[in-house]
Each structure stands twice: as C-alpha cells, then as structure tokens.
Amino acid sequence: MPPLIKLPQTKEELEQIVALDLLCLGGFWSLKSYQKEIENPNSVLLTFVEANMTIGCGCFWSILEEAHITMLAIHPDYQGQGLGSLLLFSLLKNAHLRGLERATLEVKSSNFKAISLYQKFKFKIAGTRKKYYENGEDALIFWREDLAKEI
Ligand SMILES: CC(C)(COP(=O)(O)OP(=O)(O)OC[C@H]1O[C@@H](n2cnc3c(N)ncnc32)[C@H](O)[C@@H]1OP(=O)(O)O)[C@@H](O)C(=O)NCCC(=O)NCCS
C-alpha cells in the first residue's frame, strides 16, 4: 500500500516525527515545538505514514498570502523514490486551496538535493542570507510565485 499523507493524531506519531527530524535535520524542532505546530491554526503539518511508521514530514506557515515552508524531511531509507516531491506537492496544493498565492523557504546553500527538488517545483532564488546557519553556512531564499498555476 502506498504511504498515507495525513495530519499527525497521536503522541506516538509526534514522537516519530521528532525522531525523523533528528535523523534528517539534526533536531530542528522539539516535541513541544511540533505540538505547538499542530495546535497553531496558521500551521499545516503533513506526514507520510507507512506501516504505522512516520517516514516523511513537511510543514508550512500561512502568513498573509504566503506559505512559508518551515521543514520538509523524508526518512533516508525512503529518499529518491518521489516521496519528497509528493509531500512538497501536497503542501503547495494545500496552501493554494487555503487561498495562499506564493510560497517561500530557506535552504542551506550546500543542500543540493533539496535545491534540486525546489527548482523542480519552479522555486527561484530570491536572495541569500549570509552565514544564516550555526555552522556559518549561507541560506538561499527561494520563492515560488503563483500557486494558482500548475504546481
Ligand atoms: C530533500 C528531500 C526532502 C528530498 O526527498 P526525496 O524523497 O529524496 O525526493 P524525491 O525522491 O521526490 O526527489 C525529488 C528531487 O530531488 C532531487 N534529488 C533527490 N535525490 C537526489 C540526489 N541523490 N541527487 C540529486 N538530486 C536529488 C531531484 O531533483 C529529484 O527530482 P527527480 O527525481 O525528478 O530528478 C530529502 O532528501 C530529505 O529529507 N533530505 C534531508 C532533509 C532536508 O534537507 N530537507 C530540506 C530542508 S530545506
């Protein structure tokens, strides 16, 4: 059965998201932070669940007419199979259905896989935040205009 895209419901799912976050993003958000995201009406958090395991997670904030994508992660064992694309598509489609017009995000300048994924979805570089990350790396700011057009 293909993985299911859903909103997290249980504490166990939340713990799985935190474990996935640690594995893929090095601990971007804590369990408390994810709990807050679920409770926040301006935040949309979607997960991929297969055989009761959370193997992907993505989130955006709705800010005025923009979707700010805050995180996106697919478990390393499941990468390269199109799931990242499917999850990003779902986030952008959800944003569009909420009436949002554009999407934005920040990504490490060395993260070529993610950059390539975002470019596939017509994100364009809008600027750079110098030494944005703790390790001194630059952040690339990406924009995707016109979510009403084909995603
Ligand atoms: C970025 C990430 C979400 C992509 O997930 P994924 O499931 O591997 O993505 P997909 O299989 O849908 O691939 C989508 C695109 O990513 C790029 N990509 C994926 N794997 C790649 C690789 N090994 N080398 C180069 N590009 C790659 C390609 O453009 C690919 O499109 P294509 O298959 O049409 O060529 C995943 O690598 C990940 O979780 N990385 C760690 C967390 C992270 O960096 N998140 C982004 C933070 S901003």
Q: Which atom of ligand 1 is nearest to the CA of 107?
A: 48
Tokens of 139: 């952040």
C-beta neighbour count of 24 within 10 angstroms? 18
How far, in Å, CA of 98 to CA of 138, rounded? 31
Q: Given this model, what pLDDT does residue 9 score?
A: 82
Give SS3 for 16.
helix
How far, in Å, CA of 67 to CA of 52, rounded? 28
What is the best residue among 60, 92, 113, 143 to mutate for testing ligand 1's pocket, by most ligand atoms within 8 Å of CB?
Answer: 113
* pLDDT of 2 strictly over 70: no
* Domain annotation for the chain: domains and CATH numbers: 4-144 (3.40.630.30)
Query: Which protein residue's CA is at the shortest distance from atom 48 of ligand 1?
Result: 107
Question: From residue 57, how far is each of 42, 44, 53, 129, 140 by CA, in Å?
Answer: 17, 11, 11, 25, 21
Q: Given this model, what pLDDT does residue 55 score?
A: 96
101 is catalytic: no
Q: Given this model, what pLDDT does residue 140 score?
A: 98
Query: Would you say 65 and 100 are in contact if contact means Cβ atoms under 8 Å apart?
Result: yes
15 is catalytic: no
Helices (H), 40-150: 83-97, 112-120
Tens digit of each residue's pLDDT (9 = 90 or more) over 67-125: 999 999 999 999 999 999 999 999 999 999 999 999 999 999 999 999 999 999 999 99
Tens digit of each residue's pLDDT (9 = 90 or more) over 15-49: 999 999 999 999 999 999 999 999 999 999 999 99
Q: Which atom of ligand 1 is nearest to the CA of 79?
A: 8
Tens digit of each residue's pLDDT (9 = 90 or more) over 45-61: 999 999 999 999 999 99
How far, in Å, CA of 132 to CA of 109, rounded? 10
Quote the ligand 1 centre to 94 CA distance (angstroms): 20
* pLDDT of 3 strictly over 80: no
Query: Would you say 7 and 16 are in contact if contact means Cβ atoms under 8 Å apart?
Result: no
Catalytic pick among 106, 132, 137, 145:
106
